[in-house]
Structures are given as structure tokens and as C-alpha cells.
Amino acid sequence: MSDWTEAADKLAAQVTSDAPEWRDAVSATPRHVLVPRWWEPTRKRPFEWQLVAPDAADPWSRVYSDETLVTRVGALHADHAGPEGRAHGAPTSSSTLPGLIVRMLHLLDAMPGQRVLDIGTGSGYSAALLGYRLGDDRVTSVDVDPYLVQVARELLATFRRAPEIAAVDATGEVPGDDYDRMIATVSVRPVPASWLSALRPGGRIVTTIAETSLLVCADLGRDRVARGHVQPDPASFMRTRSTADYPARLNEVYAAARDADGDEVRSLTQPVPNLWTDWELRALYELDSAGIEHRSATDEDEQAIAWLLAADGSWARAEEATGMVHQSGERRLWDDLERVRARWDEAGRFPLHELAVEFTPETTSVTSPDGRWTIQL
């Protein structure tokens, strides 16, 4: 047994204990072929990344660990890194941690003979697992990036995996139809109508809602409406994109919000939440008020400060030390957050896996367990 297969077997044992049907696929898939190099944060400057290649003395431990390996930052793929081995920006492609992929595949419940659309080819790892278990002729994988598609196709072929792979924007039309299953390792909001059109009645979608960490599983009825639920535990994926990179962060809005007095200044009515750790509140707020960028810090006395930023220039800053909220612009972002928090409190702070989801060709919606709170996306 070669070293990589021993490492792959160990990874498979780790990540498939609740999904034993995928153990052989994980054991047989050479992840190191698909991810020969990757990026990791330097920890020195925000959004600065350094190139990583396997250590010759220990080539398998990182690539066969249950972690996400970022392969593209901004428009720069690790394959194209310069001699300085640095990149700057936000991740735009990665090889997702295998444990999450296996968890989603288990939810997908695809059986041999069924046709699957894999949305977000990336490194090709999920397409490789699907092809191994279901047969390459049953798998179609798509990605918006032609380079990722080309490289995944070439690298998969080196170990005799040959699913159909196409470069398309999956928010538009997708290739083929009458799929039994769809799995998306990119996040969307809303679920595109084209996905429902390409799925047969009784088929299943497993995906995430953009910026919310909500993993959802839904089955398509004969009425062409997919119904299901949010799943326990968060799962985050990059949002679908149609360009080489994502829009720039709202640094100019943050500069205005950092220390300035707002158009409105009032007292805090509740403690400043940490939206990085309180993912459920963050998810509900994002469902209600899409596209709000949040940042947080602590002052010299370890008192929390939080900023909410919108692309139209609206902003809010909440300061634990002063007990004050500053807000400016067309929208009152902190008021929106407090309204969502109050609504959740009134509903008993239900766990988010109790949210029901519904996808129609026109809308995506989530509904509280008591049915009294529905958010249309």
C-alpha cells in the first residue's frame, strides 16, 4: 500500500463513520493529485495569503486532513503563483473539507443508476467521489471558471475519472435535465429556477443559502415546488459568481463608520452581539437584510465594538463601552438587527434546523417552526 492510500484510508475512516457508503470513494480518491498546491493566510496582514506545497518529509498529512484548502484567491490560482508566493484578496475557489462533502453526499442519498448534477467543480474532489460510486456517466459537474474546469478534467483523467464537466454560470441554464439529485458546493440566494427545471419530480437538492451558513435539503414535488428543512450545524460556501472575483469589501463605508458620529445616535437596548460566533443570529439577519457586511473589534478595555455596513453607504456602529449606537444613511441597520433579534426572542429562539424551506421558480423562502414568520429571499 502506497503512502497516499494509507493517508486516504485514514481520512476515510475519520469522515465516513456516519456515511459508510462513501468510505471506499474517499479511500480511492487521490486528493493530492487534485490539490497539488494551495493558499493559506499569512496571519500577518488581512487578506494576505502564502503559497503552500506538501512537505517532502511529510507530503500527505495536510492534503489528507479534514480541512478546506483554498486554491484560488481573487483572480490568482495557486497554479499561477509568482515566485514570491503571495496573493491578496478573498478566496474564490477551494477544495472543501472532505467531512463536509461527505456529509452533504450522505444527505443527497444518491443511488447507483441515478443522475447527479454537481454544481461548483472547484478542484474536482466531489465529482471524483460521485464518479467512483455512481459511475462517471451519471455525473455532470459545472463551474463558472473555465480554467478550473479544464484543470479538473485533466487531473481527474490521470486516475481514470471522466465525469462530464462544463464551464457554465449555474445561476443561468444548466446542461442537461431530468437529474435525480443536485449538490451545490457554492451558495445561492435564491435557488435558481433553472435548477428546479432540470430536476425530476422526486429529486433532491442539497445546497446552502448565500452568506447564512444554512445547509438545506429539499425534495421536488410534482407541483415543481421543492420543500425541505435547514440541516443541523452550519456549513459555509463561497457565493456563486459570474466574474473572476467578488465585489470589493466596503472599506470606504467602514472608514466613514469607524469613529464618526452618526446622523442618529441613541442608547443600546441590548448587549452588542458577536456576529462571528452567534452564527444563528447572523444567519437570520442575513436572511432578513441581505448583503450587510459586518465587522467587530474590542477596544483597549476589551469592550466590544460592532459595525454594520451596506453598499448604499448606510452604516451602524454599536459600542459596548459607551452604550451607544450610531447610525447613518438611508437604512437604519442596527434597528433591523434588533428587530430580527426581537422576533427570534419572541419565537423562543428556535434552533435554525427547525426552519422549513421552500423553493419555487419565483421565490426561495424560509419559515419558522410555528409558521408565523416567513422570509422571502
- Whether 120 and 186 have beta carbons less than 8 Å apart is answered as yes
At 53, list the grid cell: 506545497
- Whether 144 and 240 have beta carbons less than 8 Å apart is answered as yes
Residue 98 three-state SS: helix
- Whether 264 and 328 have beta carbons less than 8 Å apart is answered as yes
The rounded distance, in Å, linking the Cα atoms of 192 and 120 is: 14
The rounded distance, in Å, linking the Cα atoms of 289 and 253 is: 17
The rounded distance, in Å, linking the Cα atoms of 260 and 258 is: 6
Active site residue 93: yes
Q: Which of 17, 61, 93, 328 is catalytic?
A: 93
What is the DSSP secondary structure assignment for residue 247, as one 8-state letter? P
Place of cell 451596506: 310
CA distance readout (Å), 88 to 47, 76, 95, 224, 225: 6, 9, 19, 43, 41
Angle at 200 between CA 194 and CA 202, to 5 degrees: 125
The rounded distance, in Å, linking the Cα atoms of 319 and 268 is: 8
Residue 19 three-state SS: coil
Whether the ω angle into residue 271 lies within 30 degrees of 0, i.e. cis, is: no
b/e per residue, 206-216, with b = 16+ CB within 10 A?
A: bbbbbbbbbbb
Please count the helices (runs of H) and the strands (runs of E) in the chain.
Answer: 10, 21
Count of CA atoms in the C-beta half-sphere (13 A) of 37: 16
In the chain the first and final C-alpha atoms are separated, in Å, by 50
At 261, list the grid cell: 458620529
Q: Which residues are known to be catalytic?
A: 93
